[in-house]
Amino acid sequence: MKKRYFITGTDTDVGKTHITEALLRAAQQRGLTTLGLKPLAAGAELIDGQWSNDDARRLQAVSSLKLPYEQVNPVLLRAALAPHLAAEMEQRRLTVQSLAGFCRGTLMTHRAQLTLIEGAGGWRVPLNDRETLADLAIELNLEVILVVGMTLGCLNHALLTAEAIRRDGLQLAGWVANCLDPQMSSLEANIQTLAKRLPAPLLGTMPFQSADEAPPPAWLGNRFFDD
């Protein structure tokens, strides 16, 4: 198995990083080498004199291939805003070609059995006046894993995102139900509705948990690793 996927979500704050970490951990438990990348991050904090992003640090820590922070997250914007707005504040210009170049350079020299490239926000997050982060997945020709934040409204968000991925010519390899609301009404019925309507397999259901809890060992089935 040597696979590379782009991780997107139905919105921001739906748990993309948490699910990416969990997939990387599950792969390592099966003896695979892993690498998580966050090519673009908006929102930074100064730690020991270095600006960094929490999501990127988490992916760096959980990957079995240990890379310098700058390779995990080559483009870091300090403001926690939509990337094109954060870039404008710093008088920087984001382009798909530059992000793709960073990714290709890393992927040429570090060949993990499972590489997950996490996006920022949802599928259509703008990078500049013409490009969105979806164009990075298109440029790299990656299959996509969709993280669905299970809250009220998720059916519409998930179906529209899957439709956009398909229209962009990419394959939706699978989706993950991430349970964000422990009190969500008809949770299982919502998951089953998506399982019937989304054109890709349900890879796993992540139960509600606090940010510092480790994923339960049985949340992800073998389907993700079958090939």
Helix axes 187-197, 154-167, angle to 10 degrees: 20
Of 2, 38, 66, 196, the catalytic one is 38
40 vs 30: CA distance, rounded Å = 29
Q: Where are the beta strands (DSSP E) in the chain?
A: 3-9, 34-37, 40-42, 45-47, 50-52, 75-77, 114-122, 143-150, 172-179, 202-206
CA distances from residue 103 to 117, 132, 184 in whole angstroms, order as listed: 9, 16, 38
Name, in order, each residue with C-beta under 8 angstroms of 155's C-beta and a sequence gap of 6 or more.
190, 193, 194, 197
Residues making up the chain, counted from first to last: 227
38 is annotated as an active-site residue:
yes
The residues carrying an active-site annotation are 38
